[in-house]
Structure formats: structure tokens, C-alpha cells
Structure 1
Amino acid sequence: MTGCEYYERCRRFIKAKLNLLGTVFSEENKYDECFCKDCHERSGRPNAYRTGNPEQNAVHQIGWARFELDVHDHKIVYMKIHQKWHVAFHGTEADTVKPILDANMLLLPGDIVLGGDKLEQRKEHTEEHDEKFDPKNIFVSPSIKYVEQKSYAKSVSWIDEHTSTEYDAKVAFEVWIRPGSYEIHGQTLEAGSERIDEYFRNDSLEWFTKERPATVLYGLLIKLDSKQKHWSRFLPKFHLFWFT
């Protein structure tokens, strides 16, 4: 994937902010894809499509750039995951990307990540459900519009040294999830009757599972929204002269 400045900008963010080794990404990069507005319109792709067995709605992540991860191809082919499993998204924080990739899977709250730190339960999943709900699950959503909300994909500020522009950056994962392994729950963003995503009902926006191997990481997603030019690094040093 070349020729798109947005895609290249997202690549610079990965290198500068996430500090990831190239080995976590596919060497071929054949499924790297830019879904910025211009690239999506030129591609002629529909916004939504059907996938999996049984079939389920899936959406393209418009406004994001996808970087293909180095997944286990033999597992994908043997289990026909790309044909039979459903597509979903997992919003997260920039600091959580590396622990997830080190484990090569989405983790449950309470898991001990590489280095000994404990994965804490996100408060959104304890405050917004009833008392009988068990928040110790892996949460994904079929809707990219849902996971890009600040409760899930928390933004981090980043200055692109190449353009001197400050961005709000968000990160998420595109995953495959095994049909039958997950339960479906409604949105917990207090959206009321306002529909969050035209392709999914509000009562079907959260999928959750305790089955770690039921999700396979497929792509790292990056979204950048410009804030302002960051001129402070380039301002000349003025000398003040006082006259009496």
C-alpha cells in the first residue's frame, strides 16, 4: 500500500509512538489497507458486507488504516477462519497494544501480561452493566463506530515530526471471532434510542467471550484526527530590547 499520505502518516505514528518491532506485522503486507475517505471512495468497496458461517454483517473501517499482523497462516487455512469466522473490532489504548501483541491474543481482565503487570478491568464494563453481569470477558464489537468511541479507543496526542501537525490518535484491532463462542449485549454508551451504527442495532453492539482462542488478531488499526499545527518547535527566539 503506497501513495496515500494518510496511510504513511499512520505508519509514522506506529514507528514513533507505539515502538513496535517489524516482526509483528506480515512481511508481505498484502492486506494492509487504507480506509481513509478518499481511498475508500476510489476502491468502490461497499460500506458493509456479509461474512462468516452463519453469515453476519461486517463493515469496512472507514477513516482508519489497517496494518496486517503476522498471524498463524496454517491455523487460518486449516480452520478456514477467514471464511467461517465473524469480523469484529476491539478498541484499546496505545499503551495496551504491545502487551496484546506480545501475547498474540486479546486478554481477559486479571491476566498477567509479559513483564508481570496485571491487566486491569476497564470501569466501563463494571459501571454500565447490572450486578449479575460478569465483566471478566473479552469484549469486541462488529461496529467500528462503536469501538472508536472514547470509552473504548482512548485517544493519545501525537505530533507528526514530518508535518509539524498535532493529532488525536486512536488504536484498535480487527479480529476474527468464532461463531457460537460469544454472547451479544446491547450498547453501554447511554445512546438511548439514537442509533450508533446504521448497520447494527444498538442491542447487538457488544460481543463478549471468555474463550481466549476464539479470537484471532488480524490487523492493527490506526485513526488520526488533526488538531492543529504545532509551531512551538519552530518559533524564533526573540530578543527584547528596552528603551528608556
Structure 2
Amino acid sequence: MENKLTKIRRTFAAQLTGKHKLKLIIPHNDSSDSIFEVFINEMFNQLHRKRTKQDEELLRESNRNSPLFIQRKQLQKDIEDFLILNKRQDARAVQEIIERVERMTMLNRKYDIREVKSISQLNTQYQSTIIPTVKMFTVSCSYRALCSELLERFDWPSELFASEYDRCFCKTCYPLTMPNVYQSNIENKYPIIIPRNWMKFGLKIDEVQAKIHQIWNKWAMSYHGTLPNAALSMIKHRQICLPGDKLLDGTHLTIRPGHIPDQKAFFTSPTIRYAAQNHYATPLEFTSQIDKCVYTAKIVLRCRQMPGSFTIQGETLNNSRINGADFCDIIPDEQIEWKTDKRGTVIFDGLCVRLTPVSNQTFHNTIYQSHANQTNVHN
């Protein structure tokens, strides 16, 4: 893990050098650690000087939507992210930065990368040169905008969300060349399966609880399909809801038709493909004001679960017998469902949204009706 963080730190420094057009020579990958430390220290100094200069210019700028304000905000975010990577104290934030750097590295491989000069060449030339080693670019993601519009329609308290941990997994933001599964670390035997074609909105969590239990290093990642009112109750309560619980809107959580009766338990899955099945994540109709199109919307909670607190079991939707194929090509059906009745062993760190365009279909559920019609929902 230490070697990976070192490589990520070097790559991130090179990306920031190109992005902010710093006057630096980027070392070759095989350069020594001491050479890279000299490079990184100078990069950091230049970023701070650039920020100071922008602050002086902003004193004369009144339009907060100007490009200068946007550049200053992005520069500050990059500086803070690099500090997080240096300190390595916030495991969740470090993992997000690692994914960001790896994603940008994969995207940049599609574009021409200019030849870079080594530190030894710098010593012979005695001059600084702007080396745009990578072409940094921003992709405007329409899918993210649509999912954000849906979330705004729910009208949930903004205090629940941690936007710095938002992540889009559409084909543009997370290309097919990126891996489908990660192994988080040696302390966690459970794989992280990427929720392709979903948008994940970060949720605020209890950082004290996270630190005490080391959830980012040791707890398994899973998904739980549900409906908006049940999701809101669980996020606000910061704990799972079991059948029989009274939700914030006054309704009682009951077992929906088609589910196993008398099962007072909470079910999750390591793959979102199973958690998003209609039995769990009931589809809702959503009409966007952005593009005037109609979509089928689903929401799934991303969870962190304490190892040893859940039972791993086979699927209960009879998919194999009906379709003759597993739900997921990574997790077999015999291990695809996790069951627990232990409160306090599940933490919600993300709300996942998926939109699918509707073609020649009519749905009775709408995003506006969902709050009124969800009197019988299963967790």
C-alpha cells in the first residue's frame, strides 16, 4: 500500500504541474526519491505563490462567477487534496483522491503526451521550462446533472451530504477501460465492485465512529436498494431500519409482498446489480426539466458493514432458476446476499442514483407520488 501511495503522490504532483502550468521540470519515473521530493516541494511552493497572486487579483474582481473565482476554488481544492495525501490520516479522502488520480491517468492515455525533460537536463540548461506533460481537461457530465436534479426533487436537507465525495460512474466519467473491481487493502478481504452507470452522492458520517472502528480500512462495502422515505429515515437515524420500525414520516416499515415473511433483518449485497433489483429498489418515474425526457429512477444506499456481523447467503429472487445466469459476473449467486439484524454495524456513506430513459412505457409511480404512496416499503 505504501508503494502505491508513493506512486500516486508522484503522479498527482505531475498532473497538478501540467494542470496549473507550473514552471517545473517533471522527473522521470525512475528518478530517486530525493529528486522527487525536491520536485514536489517546489511544486507546492509554486502552487502557494499562484494562490497568493490569485487572491490579490480577486480583490479587484466583483463577479463571483468569473473564471478567476472558479480557478481559485479549484486551486485551493488541489492544494487541500495534496495535503490530505501527504498526511494520510483520512483514509476515506485518500481513497477518493487515489481513484481520482487513477481515473485521470487512464483518461490521459487517450491523448498525446509530450516528451518531458529530466532533472539532469535541467542541470545542464540552467533554466526553467513549462512542461505541459499531460493535457488536463474537464468533461461536462450531463448524467451527473440529471441525477443531481432528481436529488433536488427529493428536497432532502443539504446537511446530510458531503459533496466532496460525489462520484459519477457513467461511461464518460468512468470509462470501460477502468477496472470493474478493486481489492481495497490486505485488512479487508471483501472486494469493492464498481457501480457502473450510477451516480454516487457522498453522505456525511460520524467521523469519530469511523476512526474508532477503522471502517475505511476494515469494513466491507455493500449496497442496499430501497425507496426515498426509507432511505431518508436510515440516513437521518444513522442506523438500519428493520421491519416494524416507525419511519420519520410516520409510516411503519413492513415486508413487501414477494419477500420472505417473518424475516426481521436487513439485507445488502456486495454488488449493486443485485441490490438494484425491482424487489428492493422500486423504479420511480422522473421527468427532467433539463432535457424534458422521462426516466426510470432507482436509488440504492452504499454501505460499510462490520465484518463478522452479517451472514452471507444465496440469492432469494430465484434468478438462476428463471434466467439461468448469475446476477453478477464477479460475485456468485450463492454469496450475493448479506443478512444482518445487528444495529450499529452498518454505516451509510453514499446515495447511489441511476436513471434509465423510458421508451414506450408508462409507470404509475412518479417522483412526486413517492412520498405519499410509500406506506408499505421493505428495507
TM-score by length of structure 1 reads 0.84
| Partner of residue 25, structure 1 | 161
Aligned residues of 2:312 and 2:337 also touching (Cα < 8 A): yes
Q: Against the structure 1 CA distance between its residues 105 and 124, is the aligned structure 2 distance closer, same or farther, given a 3 Å change threshold?
A: farther
Change (3 A) 1:161 1:123: same
- How far residue 98 of structure 1 moved from its aligned partner, in angstroms, is 2.0
Inter-CA distance 115–96: structure 2 relative to 1 (3 Å threshold): closer
Q: What code does the residue aligned with 2:199 have?
A: A
| SS of residue paired to 1:6 | helix
Give unpaired runs (5+ residues) of structure 2.
1-137, 361-379
Distance 1:95 1:113, change over 3 A: closer
1:49 aligns with 2:182: yes
Partners of 1:201 and 1:184 lie apart in 2 by 11
1:170–1:224 CA contact under 8 A, matched in 2: yes
Residues 1:150 and 2:278 aligned together: yes
Match of 2:260 in 1: 126
Partner residue of 2:325 out of 189, 194, 212: 194
AA at the equivalent of 1:10:
C
Aligned-pair CA distance for 1:186: 0.5
Q: Does 1:168 align with 2:293?
A: no
Higher strand proportion, which one?
Answer: 1
Query: Which of 132, 139, 142 pairs up with 1:5?
Result: 142
Moved more, 70-79 or 1-10: 1-10
Q: Secondary structure at the match of 1:87?
A: strand
Match of 2:240 among 102, 106, 114: 106
Instruction: Supply the distance in 2 between the matched residues of 1:48 and 1:115 (Cα, whole angstroms).
Output: 37
- State how many pairs are aligned: 219
Q: CA deviation at 1:105?
A: 2.2
Q: Is the 8 A contact 1:103 1:113 kept in 2?
A: no
Identity %: 27
Cα-to-partner distance string for 1:167-196 (whole Å, 9 max, x where unaligned): 000000000000000001101121224111
Structure 1 position 101, deviation (Å): 2.2
Using the alignment, how far apart are the partners of 2:349 and 2:306 within structure 1? 13
Match of 2:215 in 1: 81
CA contact (8 A) 1:138 1:212 kept: no
What is the rounded CA distance, in whole Å, between the counterparts of 2:225 and 2:139 in structure 1? 26
How many Å apart are 1:144 and its aligned residue?
Answer: 0.8
Distance of 2:296 and 2:272 partners within structure 1: 17
- Quick check: 1:51–1:86 contact (8 Å CA) kept in 2? no
Residue 131 of structure 1 corresponds to none
Q: Following TM superposition, by how much is the alpha carbon of 1:115 offset from its aligned partner in structure 2, in angstroms?
A: 4.3
The 3-state SS of whatever aligns with 2:319 is coil
Partner of 1:232: none
Deviation at 1:104, TM superposition (A): 2.1
1:37 is aligned to 2:171: yes
| Alpha-carbon contact 2:273-2:327 (below 8 Å) kept | yes
In structure 2, which of residues 343, 349, 369 is the aligned counterpart of residue 218 of structure 1?
Answer: 349
- Normalized per residue, which structure has more helix? 2
Q: Is 1:206 equivalent to 2:206 in the alignment?
A: no
**Bigger mean CA offset, 48-57 vs 165-174:** 48-57
User: RMSD of the TM alignment (CA)?
Assistant: 2.0
Give 1:50 deviation, angstroms. 1.7
| Off by >4 Å, runs of 4+ in structure 1 | none
Name 2:108's counterpart in structure 1: none
Partner Cα separation in structure 1 for residue 218 and residue 332 of structure 2: 22
**Does the C-alpha gap of structure 1 residues 2 and 113 become closer, same or farther in structure 2, counting only changes over 3 Å?**
farther
Taking the aligned partners of 1:228 and 1:31, their CA distance within structure 2 comes to 32
- What is the match of residue 14 of structure 1? 151
Deviation at 1:228, TM superposition (A): 4.8
**In 2, Cα distance between the equivalents of 1:174 and 1:90?**
7
Measure the CA separation in 1 of the matches of 2:216 and 2:257: 32
| Structure 1 position 3, deviation (Å) | 2.6
**What does the per-residue CA deviation read over 1:172-227, in whole Å, with 9 as the maximum and x for residues that have no partner?**
00000000000011011212241110110101111011111000000000000011
| 3-state DSSP of counterpart to 1:213 | coil
Shift of 1:142: 0.4
In structure 2, give the amino acid aligned to 1:22.
S
What is the one-letter code of the residue matched to 2:152? K
What is the alpha-carbon distance in structure 2 between the residues aligned to residue 185 and residue 225 of structure 1?
29
Taking the aligned partners of 2:230 and 2:273, their CA distance within structure 1 comes to 20
Gaps of 5+ in 1: 128-133, 230-244
CA, structure 1 residues 110+100, in 2 after alignment: closer, same or farther (shift >3 Å)? same
What letter corresponds to residue 49 of structure 1 in structure 2?
A: Y
